[in-house]
Amino acid sequence: MTLQLFAHPFSSYCRKALIALHENATPFVFRMLDPEHPENDAEWSARWPLRKMPILVDGEKTIVEVSTIIEYLQIHHPGPVHLIPEDALEARMLDRIFDNYVMTPMQQVVGNALRPEDAKDPYGVGQSMQMLDKVYAWLEARLQGRKWAAGDAFTIADCAAAPSLFYADWVRPIPDGMSALKSYRARLLARPSVSRAVEEARPFRRFFPLGAPDRD
């Protein structure tokens, strides 16, 4: 039975799953989550009441949480690119770092922009910006001499890095002096699986609440 991904292409976590699927040219049906497809929304809600994107459906199985989705794909639908390497500790660690300390503060800033004026949280935004500054500096040191996050191979860590750094740089531009981090982001954008996911989401850029920059 064909895999189904319930997702939206502009969502950062959905893009992480799409990159993994594109890396191995894994066949799947894309189930768009938007107001124009209420039947998808209804099934998504029934399968995962927390309504967090994305979910992967494989027959009667529903897999939630995108890092778990990537692991599931490697176990049950493997391809030539092994996104979970045999020695996966560093790749898994960096996957969590990109999700928790790049993706999360970026989303907190974006979420604040969607709040009513009387519910804005400038203190929280400031904390998120500080976290991005700190993790940028840590990543700049970590990426010295590396092609990909965990070394020479493209892994789950890079699937996480691509959408998190894509949007984080829109929210808090990576400083010009951080050449390793900026070059890494550029390599990610040039990767065919990442480039495809970026292009698939391009029609939705008008929805970015802070205003999408005229680049990338």
pLDDT at residue 113 in the model: 96
Predicted pLDDT at 150: 97
**What's the rounded Cα separation, in Å, for the pair 108 and 105?**
5
Q: What is the pLDDT tens value at each position of the chain, 216 positions in all? A: 699 999 999 999 999 999 999 999 999 999 999 999 999 999 999 999 999 999 999 999 999 999 999 999 999 999 999 999 999 999 999 999 999 999 999 999 999 999 999 999 999 999 999 999 999 999 999 999 999 999 999 999 999 999 999 999 999 999 999 999 999 999 999 999 999 999 999 999 999 999 999 999
Complete domains list, the chain, with CATH: 3-76 (3.40.30.10), 89-207 (1.20.1050.10)
**CA distance to 24, 43, 140, 153, per residue, from 87 (Å):** 20, 37, 23, 12
Rounded to whole angstroms, the Cα distance separating 107 from 127 reads 12
- H helices then E strands: how many in the chain? 9, 4
pLDDT of residue 148: 98
Task: Specify the pLDDT at position 120.
Answer: 97
Contacts of 69 (CB under 8 A, 6+ apart): 17, 20, 54, 55, 56, 63
What pTM, to 2 d.p., does this model score? 0.96
In which region does residue 59 sit, left (phi positive, over 0), alpha (psi from -120 to 50) or beta (all else)? left
Which residues, 6+ apart, have CB-to-CB distance to 114 below 8 Å?
209
